[in-house]
Chains A and B, each alone.
Chain A
Amino acid sequence: MALRSVTLPGIGTKYELETEKKDTIAVFFLKNGNIQMYTLQHESQIPSVAELSPQEARRLGAILTGAIMEADRESVEIAFSALSDLRLSLHTYVIGRDMAGKSLSDLQIRAKTGVTIIAVSRGENNIVNPPADFEFKEGDAVVAIGETDQLKNFEREIMVK
């Protein structure tokens, strides 16, 4: 898996990766902000190309890091290889009617599941690090952080009730 990067004047930066199975993937960050991604199958001559906007590229990146993604649920997994392979997942959830009106301390999320709610998005506002007495409303989008197992636990214990 050799990764090669080069800056091409006037064009942008190129990252080229040859996979173990000899397929080639190349990503170009163009000067206009878009990203072109080429994939070339081993021994094939004609690559297939997709041009992505920065947002689309980030979405693709999130998928490739192994996250589950549905329409209103997005998550990102971060692996810290230097910290004995610590893997943390960030996941978003939308609060339903059942959880509305309850506060963080009512729900005992961290004590029961180990998951921490690090941010809540309500309408136009974002609340980072909501306090323990923070009350959820229906339709709030929350960002939860924890290990994958803990998040699954959270989904079972808290969200589905």
Chain B
Amino acid sequence: MQGIVLALFICMLLALVTKRFSLPTIPFYILAGLVLGKSGLDLVGADQISAFLTHLGLIFLLFFMGLEIKPDRIWHNQSAIVSSGLIDLNINALIGFVAAYALGFPLFDAVIIAAAFFISSTAMAVTSLVENRKLLMKESETIVWLMVFEDIVVILILALITPQTEHPGIMLAKTVAVLLLLYALIRFGKEQIIWVLRRDDELPVLLTFSAVLGISALSVYLGIPESFMVIAFGTLLGTIDPVSFEVQSRPFKDVFLVVFFVFFGISVNLFSAGISLTVLIAVSVVAILSKYLSGIVIGNYIHRSSRSGIEIWANTIGRGEFSIVIAALYASDAVSGTIACMVIITSIVGAFVAKYSEKIGEVLIRPKNPDLFIRPGKGQQG
């Protein structure tokens, strides 16, 4: 218990400092965890309480992600999402897998690294676009849809890679049955749910908290993919009143997610798993370069410009929350350490590249004909 309090206070101080310098907070939470935990001073260890709070952080992050997913909007923008998304997926997952396999990770570990390697941080991309005031650039929409595509891939990974206790057919049938039941419940109970949400006592927050925990417990009991169910539940509730559910669940997400990141760092042992520092840094460097490649290809494919590619690269370098989710759920010690390191390095590098992307673009890509690079507002996609 004291460990959690200590960790949270340190995170709060770190958040104060990093926000002051407009840096992403996630890498610093993980760093704090590494310093406090097995890899560092060994001051704080995981226990049952921290495990429960960590789990809450994970499911509220997923629930929040679910609330944001609007199937009809995705459907209407599929052309924008799919083309760039597939380029991003193919290039990065392939490079991530080959790099991990070449560095000596076993097959399954290499797949997990490839997944974490591919998924950029949606939170960081969005924050960097808003804070660096780049929303008007034509690439920003491309980046946002790219993040949507990556989120869909995360959902597929969470749905598909799951410890199989029984025949996949039975599990699928159970999942579909529960989803239909939830759909019906939300469809016919809509009025009642809205009535509860409009109240100004403790009922709205109690409903949100217990419903999210309830779905998670039910999924574990039935042996169906828990993470996937929580996201799907969020998406279903998002059809009623996403704003209100966001408001109710945000405090849980914000606090428990910090616990999740810091305890992820605490549980990682960078030095015991036999991974050399060279490998850790190599993976991170390849992670930055491979997003550069995919960014340039997408920039040329969609905006016919390598400069656009630089912007796309700059805002997608940072790996973050979902890479950590994948590590926390599936990874062995060695893989967790590698992913933790990758998140820390890529997100800090990403923050700086995004801030100075224009200057970096000028250095990296020299336009032969500057007139080709009339930037925002011209030749908008879609």
Query: Which residues of A line the B interface, CB within 8 A?
Result: 4, 6-11, 14, 16, 18, 24, 26, 28, 30, 36, 38, 40, 43, 45, 47, 49, 51
Contacts and interface: CB of A to CB of B under 8 A. Distances in A.
Interface in B287-315: none
B73 A11 contact: no
A36 B135 contact: yes
A10 B136 contact: no
A42 to B, nearest CB: 9
B55 interface: no
A9, A18, A40 pick with most chain B CB within 10 angstroms = A9
Interface of B: 68-70, 73, 122, 126, 129-130, 133, 135-136, 140-141, 144, 147-148, 373-377, 380
A45 B376 contact: yes
Given A8-B141, A9-B147, 19 more contacts: A4-B380, A6-B141, A7-B73, A9-B70, A9-B73, A9-B144, A10-B68, A10-B122, A10-B144, A11-B126, A11-B130, A11-B135, A11-B144, A26-B135, A30-B130, A36-B133, A38-B135, A45-B374, A45-B376
Contacts of A30: 130
B133, B141, B148, B375: residue with the most chain A Cβ atoms closer than 10 Å: B133
Contacts of B129: 11
Nearest to A51: B133
Contact of B136 (A4, A43, A47, A51): A47
Query: Lowest 3 CB-CB distances: which A-B pairs, in order?
Result: A24-B377, A38-B136, A49-B133
Contacts of A43: 374
A45 B135 contact: no
A45 B308 CA distance: 13
A62 to B, nearest CB: 24
Contacts of B136: 24, 26, 38, 40, 47, 49
B305 to A, nearest CB: 12
A83 B375 CA distance: 41
Contacts of A6: 141
Nearest to A32: B130
B373 A9 contact: no
Contacts of B380: 4, 16
A16 B144 CA distance: 17
Contacts of B133: 36, 38, 49, 51
Contact of B126 (A10, A14, A38): A10
Contacts of A16: 377, 380
Nearest to A40: B377
13 contacts: A4-B380, A6-B141, A8-B141, A10-B126, A10-B144, A10-B147, A11-B126, A16-B377, A24-B376, A26-B136, A40-B377, A47-B136, A51-B133
A51 B377 CA distance: 19
Nearest to B126: A10
A10 B69 CA distance: 9
A9 B68 contact: yes
A47 B130 contact: no
Residue of B73, B126, B130 most packed against chain A (CB within 10 A) = B130
Contacts of A26: 135-136, 377
Nearest to B144: A8
A54 to B, nearest CB: 15
Contact of A14 (B68, B135, B147, B374): B135
A9 B135 contact: no
